[in-house]
Amino acid sequence: MKNILFAASECVPFIKTGGLADVVGSLPKYFDKEEFDVRVMIPNYRMIDQKWKDQMVYKTSFYMNLAWRNQYVGIMEMEYEGITFYFIDNEFYFSGDHPYGEIYQDIEKFAFFSKAVLSALPVIDFKPDVIHCHDWQTGLIPVFLKDTFAQNPFFWGIKTVMTIHNLKFQGVWDKNTIQDITGLSSYYFTPDKLEAYGNANYLKGGICYADEVTTVSESYAQEIRTPFYGEGLDGLLNARAGSLCGIVNGLDYNEWNPWTDPYIYHHYSAANFRREKKKNKLALQKELGLEENEKVFMMGVVSRLTDQKGFDLIECVMEQLCAEDTQFVILGTGEPRYENLFRHYEWKYKGRVSSNIYYNNERSHKIYAACDAFLMPSLFEPCGLSQLMSLRYGTLPIVRETGGLKDTVEPYNEYEGTGTGFSFANYNAHEMLATVEYAKDVYYNHKREWNKLVDRAMAADFSWDVSAKKYEEIYRKLTY
């Protein structure tokens, strides 16, 4: 039996701000239980819902030095869906209203968490063969393992995997402060280790010291080795190319299933979507006050409203996107300029545009089920989950060919009768608009082809089973 520990700053169902939580919460359930004992360790934030707190059992506590500070470390434990979860408790660090605050506070908070993860292992009597670290918040774990803990025989032989969910966030702060917080010697603060462009960088430390580095799609693993996507670390990622691979994220097919989804109006499957899917469209039109018409082309967007997600492209051609033969439904929050843009267009085209400037999980399920197409023109997208959800619901994605979008959406080829969606290559508003127009043409004038696209989209398999097997291969490679 191989022991695997996931260390991360968030995890469903306890705490979630983004896709990282979905991965850490879902993936462990899909490993082969005969071969892998996978457990998860996250901070015990104050704002974790009380219903989970009530199920946690106090395991033990101790004091740990973080450089010159002496800090309390409590360990709570619970089992959920067959997986053991540990929660690192410390009110000084984890009592805020949000898992992340100001970066200068987070730098110390996650230095504490990284060291506490390692310090807790002998106390809970769980020695992992592999510690799987997620994003910059756990970047110091591989560093501490090679330094502070290297003298203790308990830690000998433990391997580490560093997964980059979004390279944009790296945990950067000034060198002297981080040296003071971590207690690491100046040996570690050189350009071939934690130092980057004069500052110290947690994610860089993780990439340098981990045994394997992964990211969340094959294309993103290639892209981040170029200056445009590399966020200043492309040189290091090229140097580590032999230990770098991309594994596309999966989707929890139990939660996202149009046949059983409790949030949608009418259940449907690949067998009966031609008849049943449009009932969701009519129901959503009624709920949102749009013109009720099952034949009109309805396009959805569920996203953070930021430049990274391609909203500058949408802004550029918004007038054309709101054509008379199209309904446009937006759900999400983000930059005020985009929030106001969509509010304006809802006011201008009442009955055709619905702008939902908030986030609501139930409404997102309804949009995936009701729309005909789903727009995702991202500037960069490490993996993306929205396109996987839309494929699952037979809502054809219209995406830019980048990162995980390129790896998961096969563009429609009318000559070969292949594809699961539509895509465009250049980050260009009119190229995006032309792709939307092409999709509309297929929808209105080649309905049989459109339905075959939906058949193929719903047959695509992006469940966690596929990804879990690839992670299992990495763990085996590291532990043999």
Both 36 and 49 in one domain: the answer is: yes
Both 116 and 165 in one domain: the answer is: yes
Residue 19 has pLDDT above 90, yes or no: no
| pLDDT, mean over the chain | 97
Say which residue, 148 or 83, is predicted with more confidence.
83
Annotate 243-268 with b (16+ C-beta within 10 A) or e (fewer). Answer: ebebbbbbbbeebbebeebeebbbbb
Give the CATH number of the domain where residue 52 resides.
3.40.50.2000
**Do 87 and 76 touch, CB atoms closer than 8 A?**
yes
- The reply to whether 255 falls in a domain is no
**Rg of the chain's alpha carbons, rounded to an integer?**
23
Could you report the per-residue pLDDT of 205-224, keeping only the tens digit for each? 999 999 999 999 999 999 99
- The reply to whether 156 falls in a domain is yes
- The reply to whether 261 falls in a domain is no
Mean pLDDT of 257-264: 97
Q: What is the pLDDT of residue 18?
A: 83
What's the rounded Cα separation, in Å, for the pair 399 and 356?
21
For the chain, the domain total comes to 2
Both 281 and 384 in one domain: the answer is: yes
Both 156 and 237 in one domain: the answer is: yes
- The reply to whether 263 falls in a domain is no
- The reply to whether 268 falls in a domain is no
Q: What confidence tier does 105 reach under pLDDT thresholds 50, 70, 90?
A: very high
**Do 428 and 310 touch, CB atoms closer than 8 A?**
no
Q: What is the pLDDT of residue 480?
A: 87
Both 90 and 227 in one domain: the answer is: yes
- The reply to whether 187 falls in a domain is yes
Mean pLDDT of 431-439: 98
Identify the domain containing residue 374 by its residue range: 273-461
Mean pLDDT of 469-473: 97
Both 210 and 291 in one domain: the answer is: no
Q: What is the pLDDT of residue 428?
A: 98
- The reply to whether 260 falls in a domain is no
Q: What confidence tier does 35 reach under pLDDT thresholds 50, 70, 90?
A: very high
Both 84 and 122 in one domain: the answer is: yes
- The reply to whether 265 falls in a domain is no
Both 345 and 414 in one domain: the answer is: yes
Could you report the per-residue pLDDT of 312-326, keeping only the tens digit for each? 999 999 999 999 999
Say which residue, 255 or 379, is predicted with more confidence.
379
Upper half-sphere CA count for residue 245 (Cβ side, 13 Å): 12
Both 320 and 413 in one domain: the answer is: yes
Both 191 and 233 in one domain: the answer is: yes
Q: What is the pLDDT of residue 17?
A: 87
Both 60 and 141 in one domain: the answer is: yes
Both 35 and 79 in one domain: the answer is: yes
Q: What is the pLDDT of residue 178?
A: 97
What is the bridge-based pairing of β-strands 353-356 and 326-331?
Answer: parallel
Could you report the per-residue pLDDT of 130-160, keeping only the tens digit for each? 999 999 999 999 999 999 899 999 999 999 9
Residue 200 has pLDDT above 90, yes or no: yes
Say if residue 80 is exposed, middle or buried (CB neighbours under 10 Å; 0-12, 13-18, 19+): middle
